[in-house]
Amino acid sequence: MASNGEVGLTRWPRHAAHRNVGRRDPSVFGPSCGCLGSERNVRVVITGGSGFIGSHLADRFLADGHQVVCLDNYITGHPGNTAHLTGRADFELIECDVSDGIPVQGKVDAVLHFASPASPFDYHRYPLETLRVGSEATMHCAEFALKAGARLLLASTSEIYRDPLEHPQRETYYGNVNSVGPRSVYDEAKRFAESTVMAYHRQAGLESRIVRIFNTYGPRMKVDDGRVLPTFCAQALRGEPITVFGDGSQTRSFCYVSDLVEGICRLLASDYSGPVNLGNPNEITIRQLVDEILAVCNSTSDVTYQDLPEDDPKLRRPDISLARKVLGWEPTVDRSEGVARMVDYVRTELARV
């Protein structure tokens, strides 16, 4: 088939989906209630595999008996997140920029595209890289998955809803996004990535899954990347003033990383190709979160308030009815337990400095 453009796009015939181009026997992925079938020697590629969520996915797949190839360029990922896997025969790490292509040889059963700056600090610092990894890298992943006969799972985000006018947010909600705002590069990159994956699914028969990830926290988060949970924990443990943007009335819903990983595995193994929200629907205001963290840390830190950044969403809560229905999934780690674990993790990280 003819190639088109520098990213090596393939001109797939119209209605190729009806000819099952690139489809693999879905039984290779095991039952929809769990992860991939370990008896089938499944090999998984994870872009952004040394990042926060990607590295936890690598641990999970390896624990379930699968082979894992992690790809990362380390502009935001950290080598330490996968250092404990070095030397394993079932694990491979390739340092590369997936916006330039997917340098993986051999059989591949699934591609999980998690490469992207994901915190405001990072995508403000790397705006063009964020756009490229949402566009060019997504196309590379789709082309690679098609040619390998692999299933592609795209990591999308609740940020595609931006400052929502619907609450809680369902997958059918189109969002309320400022396409030229200071946070737009991440939102629009993910919206484009979703459109790309669905176009490959409809036009070329790509086996695809899309997860819309809401606020997630846990070990391996960077303490200094501006996200509220690790930032508040670090400030409280240091005895520094806790910085709240706005008046603290804005809401978020925080999901512990192990719950998210379980949901992702179930989605990958399912037969549902549309977007699925994964997050914890237990909503809390930012000020309430501060009080909880202060209590766990036994901290007397003051609380200071600064102007709310432009385009910062006022409300954020997932409707997970679809995940409950098609995946049989919902979070199991309550926030009190998760925050206690997070405080322990941040305390350990601060002691390293």
d(CA 91, CA 206): 26
d(CA 285, CA 321): 22
DSSP annotation of 244: E
Q: Which of 186, 200, 256, 345 is catalytic?
A: 186
* Secondary structure of 27-66 in HEC code, one letter for each residue: HHHCCCCCCCCHHHCCEEEEECCCCHHHHHHHHHHHHCCC
- Nearest one of 330, 337, 320, 338 to 256, comparing CA atoms: 338
Q: Is residue 92 within a helix (H) or strand (E), and if so which, with residue range?
A: strand 91-95
- Nearest one of 286, 264, 262 to 276, comparing CA atoms: 264
d(CA 25, CA 167): 38
Residues 168/319, Cβ–Cβ less than 8 Å: yes
Q: How many residues does the chain have?
A: 353
Partners of 277 in beta bridges: 212
What is the CA angle 249-250-253, rounded to 5? 120
Is 123 catalytic? The answer is no
Residue that has been written with the tokens 């949970």 in this structure: 229
Enumerate the active-site residues: 186
